[in-house]
Chains A and B, each alone.
Chain A
């Protein structure tokens, strides 16, 4: 038997460089060199790209997608998914808006005090998240089908409660976060960065984060280790819904209105950003640093294509192509670095 001190002896012999490479990929930095490259390319082809106004603009645009993607990451880390987040982005602020504005502006006529706006929006978002958790944990539905149904339901729900009309100026409590600036930086960006920081710390250093990774990696092992798996799954759906609600509030604030089509298509970008950022759709893999890189990449590409005056028809198609290329890169990098096949 080995002496106790030698137990941790090197068994393989990975070089310093390959160890650095593995850590680089595992910590979510894979896409940052690509981002840097894009920024350099952007600076060359479109001089306006590097202007502070444009950079802040990019950040402001991605904060909605960023919050949605962080929410999505909660459920993807445990090997589930939540399509209804897109519905929440549209539904939660719309519900708050119709509760606030007078009937003449398209509201219910409840006319809640303005400060209630944020509470109603986030409360509704959280409740929808809890409902998703209930469907998955208690009823035992596959989250794909249960959240798909809810997505369609919420899309229709927005039209019902708003009577098919967008609601303008729903009040400061709902729009402040998405429209104000502090020291020239939009509050939306600060909210996104703050949430990213807190969630990043939770994923990395909190027992809740550890439980998420354990469940995503091997649910039965997590159960055998004494983790309350059902409660964690349930809460992951709750946090996902809550963050999607927050994203919706920011969006409403930026537009100063709750629009009926708000958030349409965002779930696809959120999945793309998560996968590009190294989050494995199989669960158990991914972190906030990577998620941010995925969100930034999509934001920068959209911005660059617009600045470069690429015809709008081509913007969407090129974004799709970039998503595929980036996902391939991430998958290859993570496979090479860990030596294990992962499903992205």
Chain B
């Protein structure tokens, strides 16, 4: 046996080797001892449903969110994870393109591309503007992107921004690249350019970890597939040729665990509560026609950036459509309650108590003609809503900032119900909420539908949708492209959400 340092580009030795990776967020075990390897010059697709741990795994690999335990080796660099940041150690070995571009909007395209890049430094440590523009121009030409290198990054459209982010990462000359949903914002032409570049880099020995919600892309570009489920590997390093859509869906889904099931309170003959007519999210997007009936739970599903959240905000009356209108057959639009997507940013007021948080949803109902709050009415109304939504707090005066995530979300639900709405629009209703509270919120939504309200839910979670929705509306590129009604199966849902119709 010869005692020689192995060549990192030796094609028989993995370029990435992760072993026993664990990561816990609060009470959620996102990764439970995952082993993951990537060979040099391989495009390795990482599949799994939302919440399976794909993004967490690649974030652990790039050090973006450090793993709690396990070992990571990339090329020659070895890291023992203990929850501390190690991103700096592996910076020269790996690049991570995240789902949403992280560009500096106030800097130009060239500056974004070459930020912290030694290639444009002068001898004295300054940045050579001329060299930066020259290199950026060449790079943009190579990628067939028709923009000036001096344009501000903030002024570009979503697809170009995504491409820039990818170019920036590819340009760093690292041996391993992570592409997390790189095509979400790309047009078909842009996709083609991206794939060409990925293939040519692959030919030069660069390895890719590729996450996508579009199985057809995986079949087109990937060599190897690893499937994650509930933070564990279910299939490691399968040849992509040995798999078909059916098998992948089954593996991703796993055995179904016993959870609460959806109920159908839809009254098909009931008059619609809301009707969207020729609604356009953007001036150039396709028109949307959508009806919401009493007793119905409609889920809006689709990839990141598809416009499902915009559509929900328009339905809730919190955003104006680019064209078209929302009407009601009665002529008067029903009262609508909104559960916003990020409860910390726009859900609750942390320094105020439960009572005040709930009451701001219906101040006019609770006050007299002069605008003074009727304290007795307020206490009764808020108390009833807090019981209905199962808020657990030391008292109604406890600041909402002190409550657990689940209870905060229940307070947001209570507030959205404060004005006795007929329609409730809930965006990511159970994000960051524990399983118990999740089931309580599901029960609440079903109960509301049972009482004749119309419910619109925006969700990324297939489980959530299948437990709640009587109708699933698939939104893609600011338009409704598909619909599942009635007795749809989990497999139907997953395949539609993965873009395989």
Contacts and interface: CB of A to CB of B under 8 A. Distances in A.
Interface string A64-78: 000000000000000
B411 to A, nearest CB: 10
A184 interface: no
B351 A342 contact: yes
A8 B402 CA distance: 15
B392 A2 contact: yes
A205 interface: yes
Interface in B325-350: 338, 340, 345-350
Nearest to A214: B360
A342 B395 CA distance: 22
A338 interface: yes
Contacts, number: 102
A195 to B, nearest CB: 17
Interface stretch (B287-295, B363-371, B450-458, B477-485): B363-371
Contacts of B372: 201, 205-207
Given A7-B390, A224-B340, A217 B396 contact: no
A161 interface: no
Contacts of B390: 1-2, 7
A338 B398 CA distance: 10
B194 to A, nearest CB: 35
Contacts of A217: 349-352
Contacts of B346: 218, 220-221, 223-224
A261 to B, nearest CB: 39
Nearest to B348: A221
B315 to A, nearest CB: 14
A224 B459 CA distance: 19
Which one of B318, B346, B350, B387 has the greatest number of beta carbons of chain A within 10 Å?
A: B346
Given A218-B349, A221-B347, A205 B392 contact: no
A224 B367 contact: no
Please classify how large the interface on chain B is, using the bins under 10, 10 to 19, 20 to 34, 35 or more: 35 or more
B177 to A, nearest CB: 36
Interface residues of A, number: 35
Contacts of B361: 225-226
A336 to B, nearest CB: 14
A12 interface: yes
Interface string A310-344: 00000000000000000000000000001110100
A210 B351 contact: no
A15 interface: no
Interface in A200-246: 201, 205-208, 210-211, 213-214, 217-218, 220-227
A16 interface: no
Contacts of B366: 207
Nearest to A204: B373
Interface of B: 318, 338, 340, 345-352, 356-357, 359-361, 363-364, 366-367, 370-373, 375, 386-387, 390-396, 399, 401-402, 415, 418-419, 440
15 contacts: A1-B440, A8-B392, A11-B393, A11-B394, A14-B394, A207-B371, A211-B360, A218-B346, A220-B340, A225-B418, A227-B360, A227-B363, A284-B351, A284-B352, A340-B399
Closest 6 CB pairs of A and B: A217-B349, A220-B346, A207-B363, A218-B349, A225-B360, A224-B340
Given A221-B357, A227-B360, 6 more contacts: A4-B387, A11-B394, A205-B373, A207-B363, A211-B363, A284-B349
